[in-house]
Amino acid sequence: MVLLRKKQSSQELLKKGVLEAGLCTGCGACVSLCPYQVIYHDRTVQLHNCDLEDGKCRAFCPRTDVDLAHLRDCLFDAPDITPEIGSVKGYYFSRAADYQLREISQHGGTVTALMELALTEGLIDSAIVSSRNQDILQNGVRIKNKTDLRKNTGSKFTVSPTVATFNKIVAEDAKKIGVVATPCQALALAKMKLKPQQDDANNIDKLKLVIGLYCGWALSAEKFSKLLIQNKIDLTAITCMDIPAGKNALELHTGNGIKSIPFADVQNCVREACGYCFDSTAEFADISVGFARFGNNWEEMRGWNQLIIRSERGQQLVDLAVAKGVLEIREAPAESLKELKNAAAEKKKSALKNIIRKSGSAKNLLYLDSKDPMVKRYLGENE
């Protein structure tokens, strides 16, 4: 008698291969799809067992098997693709033309300016951004107007399950959605665009814009909260966070001035999953934005962003922003792009090194495909 072994469900595979393996980024891609997965205090939690073998929870997760080469081919023009930072149609320094917006923004205010324009012009009817509650926990929120959008400027460096909010409102009345996403969140949304599940495949067509944020790591809210308490810093007083060039510390902007914590202490709060991330510039967004570090000109560049245009849709939005006087852009020196590419390449090498250390073999790259040309380019240095 032959006993047939029951195939593991998507939820079981997700739990074993991502949640228990320390790979969960907290992006929220598996949440708001069914009642069984939720975010609780910065953690993704499975409330009940599900026996679906091909569930969306695993299909959309950015830390399950992914063919990055296929995604690049589907979403971007081949001549634009670079090995270090993905598609590049254009690379500039940028900032919001609105001085008041720049004053309340982290750096140049580029992300908020572009999202405001997309809402005003009817390119989107809903913007999904991260919003911090009274401590340092974050959640994705749906924004429909300029005033509310400006209330959520500034970087927080903790995880926001932003894609969970997209999963929720895409099934409601939203028709045209824009999302501000970190690299892992942008990858999850890109995986959805391949429409692996046909029951609601048209929902992803409501996604009209993804603005990506540069990201090197995110902090565990639990560990970081304890660190702040140890340093006698009021959680509720923090308005934004920054890592100035040349200062090996995290600056916390509060109502009582700027507080600094040595980066060596902050490093202990970084989520384990961030060590396995292959992307630091949100390569699967339409536009990617980071702060304009370049050489030693930190103070000069502090009020500017780096802007990468990746898709035709992103190009059209930036062109419109310049034409309407919403965004100021200037050509970035070739040395700046080189610096960015070098930094991104180092992130990829480090991620592969950590992945191989975790899996025990260069033949097992966890969620990455060892045949991907971009992976192979950096894999040789880690074998």
Query: Distance between CA 62 and CA 24 in Å, rounded?
Result: 9
**CB 310 within 8 Å of CB 211:** no
Query: Distance between CA 4 and CA 207 in Å, rounded?
Result: 42
Residues 6+ apart with CB under 8 A from 80: 87, 88, 89, 310
Question: Which string of DSSP letters, residue by residue, matches 212-271?
Answer: EE--S--B-HHHHHHHHHHTT--GGGEEEEE--TT--EEEEEETTEEEEEEHHHHHTTB-
Residues 6+ apart with CB under 8 A from 86: 72, 76, 279, 281, 283, 284, 310
Query: How do residues 277-318 score in pLDDT, each as one tens digit?
Result: 999 999 999 999 998 766 556 566 778 999 999 999 999 999
Q: Stretch 18-45: mean pLDDT, rounded?
A: 91
**CB 178 within 8 Å of CB 211:** yes
| Three-point CA angle 338, 318, 88, nearest 5° | 30
Lowest mean pLDDT among 60-69, 193-202, 315-324: 193-202
Q: Is 99 exposed, middle or buried (0-12, 13-18, 19+ CB in 10 A)?
A: exposed
Q: Which two tokens stand for residue 374?
A: 């971009």
Query: Distance between CA 216 and CA 269 in Å, rounded?
Result: 13
Query: Distance between CA 8 and CA 16 in Å, rounded?
Result: 10
Is pLDDT at 383 greater than 70 in this prediction?
Answer: no
What stretches of the chain show up as alpha helix (H) in DSSP?
10-14, 56-60, 68-75, 99-104, 110-120, 146-150, 162-169, 183-193, 221-230, 263-267, 298-301, 312-323, 334-359, 373-379
| Sole residue written with tokens 């959520």 | 152
Is pLDDT at 94 greater than 60 in this prediction?
Answer: yes
Pairing between strand 207-213 and 177-181?
parallel
Query: How do residues 331-372 score in pLDDT, each as one tens digit?
Result: 998 999 999 999 999 999 999 999 999 999 999 999 999 999
Query: Distance between CA 344 and CA 216 in Å, rounded?
Result: 9
| Sole residue written with tokens 């510390």 | 249
Tell me the pTM. Answer: 0.94
- Give residue 195's Cα distance to chain centre: 20
Query: How do residues 170-221 score in pLDDT, each as one tens digit?
Result: 988 899 999 999 999 999 999 999 987 666 667 899 999 999 999 999 999 8
Query: How many helices (H) and strands (E) in the chain?
Result: 14, 15
Please, what are the domains in the chain?
A: 10-219+271-379 (no CATH), 221-267 (3.10.450)
